[in-house]
A and B are shown apart, each in its own frame.
Chain A
């Protein structure tokens, strides 16, 4: 029986062996009893129709066995109780003998045919279910992101249709099956045989239980094959080949999973290749920059202090050398600060401490730290009186504004205008810094905030970290940084940060 019936009805079939036989007999007996008033010469034919009807009804609800029993049993009781002479199995009239014969055959046919129709209908419904499941799987797999997601989507379908768990053993991303990599499903059972997995993966042939090779194994192993790479192997404990009517289903199912996994693998490999390439490039840039950027101030410090130590120099020269040493060390300190901040931002180690800030206070503080540079420019601050307090990390935003303003100072002609403007509209704080420098080359604009990006032939030194730190800080405030060239001349940086405004109780302001 198993294998012919979908498992949903197999449970039926099993129970029918005992339960349904008894019910069939009981119903026929009950019908016989109810029909006993009709036990006379005129109406015993009617009883045969009633019994045929009951058998047909039973065929709708029960398997073939009980129906056969019911038809046989009903023929016997009809003969015994209703066909004269009563309470014997003998039949008097020839027509009654003929009638009994046809009753028996009709009852059998009736039962068998009804049962077959029912099975057909079940099969159709089952196929419909499978098609629907496959459709659904196709849809979901096309949206799946990541290997784990594919597995999550695929597993329940197998469980539902084959009543057992499906296990995945996937390759490690280098076309190898390794026994400890992350591609081995952590839910995999202990009776998994990795040697068979390896063989199935390499040969792309099924093996294990219910197959020709290694049939003594605890599980069946099927390869998942793709067009460009094989994602891995599946293992399960069910004889899938006996699900004859489901063959198309499980083949399509495995193909779909293979395709989805293949897609994810290829995507992941491409990404890894990209990241490696990127980090290699970053490493080289960083190395070049650091060796250059650090050496210059160090050379200055060493050279200047050496001169001061060994040679006789005039007081004026001495002072200049001291000054150079101080400037060089300040530059080194700035480089280190930037590198540290960048790595803190990237590692997520910077924790934001948002607090109510007065933007006046913030820009004053930045101005104080950059006074020497900014005083050479026409630095204009425009902050409306009604600007509310905003919630920011004061220290980090101070650093961000410092970096932008320092950038403006480095590139703008001395004496030109540098403008800082703040405004607040509909929950967003807008800070804008514009200068009259050369602006950015059009093709450089999208890269301005990239790490280690420097405009070619730019005059000022630096690691190209300042503006990427700005971006990092603003993003940690869930804000956005943009840059544009002004029509006239110069660049304009805009920072938008969403911020609530404080609830200030006027009474407390007394």
Chain B
């Protein structure tokens, strides 16, 4: 991946824009800015950025609405960057098509890691037959998971769950989304199954199941496959 990716920052706070400009430039990203929703929509169309950092509290348009408008045509990554830290806001933003969500104040290291993960995810071919994360490899065609070369036995549901998270590595998937994808629409509220399966999977694939590095919990939101 070449850095020098173009990042559009939609935020009305000049201090935050300055901070992001300095930080992202230091990590070799190009930046452009919009101070409100209208400008943001225009800039997204004219600059064609690889990623948008979107603030929810804009002076002219509600961030959630702007997110939906952008998602009508903008297929690249959008990361929401907001002071709103309620689970409702986060889940809503993810449901509306945000790839990730970071609350202010944030650590720049974390932000850059998320930006890289989002951009990479968007560029990767979706149907990669073999996913590899450190010692773990997932053969998507033959449904074989190996840890340090050894085959790990997984039930079919366990595999589906692992595959879903791994394909979206670096990205938060909400409980509802995972339940819908793995168990079906009728199971959206049955989080107890998700909890049980995550615990089982952690025992099978994590080196230390009590300090997971692959299957990460996002409090009250969902799970993220770390990489």
Q: Interface of A with B (CB < 8 Å)?
A: 329, 333, 353, 355-358, 360-361, 364-365, 367-368, 381, 389, 393-395, 398, 502-504, 508-510
Contact = CB atoms under 8 A, between A and B. Distances in A.
B198 interface: yes
Contacts of B220: 353, 355, 393-395
Given A394-B220, A508-B183, 7 more contacts: A360-B210, A361-B198, A364-B217, A367-B211, A503-B192, A509-B196, A510-B157
A355 B217 CA distance: 14
A389 B87 contact: no
B191 interface: yes
A168 B207 CA distance: 75
Contact of A355 (B175, B193, B198): B175
B46 interface: no
A329 B210 contact: no
Contacts of A353: 87, 220
Contacts of A503: 192
Contacts of A502: 192
Contact of A389 (B105, B183, B196): B196
Interface string B183-227: 100000001110111110000000001111000010110000000
A329, A333, A356, A393: residue with the most chain B Cβ atoms closer than 10 Å? A356
A358 B199 contact: yes
A341 to B, nearest CB: 10
A504 B210 contact: no
A358 B197 CA distance: 11
B218 to A, nearest CB: 9
A22 B65 CA distance: 86
Contact of B192 (A367, A381, A389, A393): A389
Given A395-B220, A398-B219, A364 B211 contact: yes
B155 interface: yes
A353 B175 CA distance: 13
Contacts, number: 55
A357 B198 CA distance: 11
A361 B211 CA distance: 9
Interface in B155-201: 155-157, 175, 183, 191-193, 195-199
19 contacts: A333-B105, A355-B175, A356-B191, A356-B195, A358-B195, A358-B198, A360-B199, A360-B210, A361-B199, A364-B212, A394-B219, A394-B220, A504-B192, A504-B193, A504-B196, A508-B183, A509-B197, A510-B156, A510-B157
A381 B87 CA distance: 27
Given A364-B212, A365-B219, A395 B199 contact: no
Contacts of A364: 210-212, 217
A405 to B, nearest CB: 15
B199, B209, B220: residue with the most chain A Cβ atoms closer than 10 Å? B220
A128 B157 CA distance: 79
A502 B183 CA distance: 17
Nearest to B90: A395
A180 B20 CA distance: 56
B216 to A, nearest CB: 9
Contact of B195 (A367, A381, A389): A389
A333 B198 CA distance: 32
Contacts of A508: 183, 193
Contacts of B192: 356, 389, 502-504
B105 A355 contact: no
Nearest to A366: B219
A235 to B, nearest CB: 52
A358 to B, nearest CB: 5
Sorted nearest first, the 7 A-B pairs with minimum C-beta distance are: A502-B192, A395-B220, A356-B192, A395-B219, A394-B220, A356-B191, A358-B195
Contacts of A504: 192-193, 196
Nearest to B219: A395
Given A394-B219, A394-B220, A357 B195 contact: yes
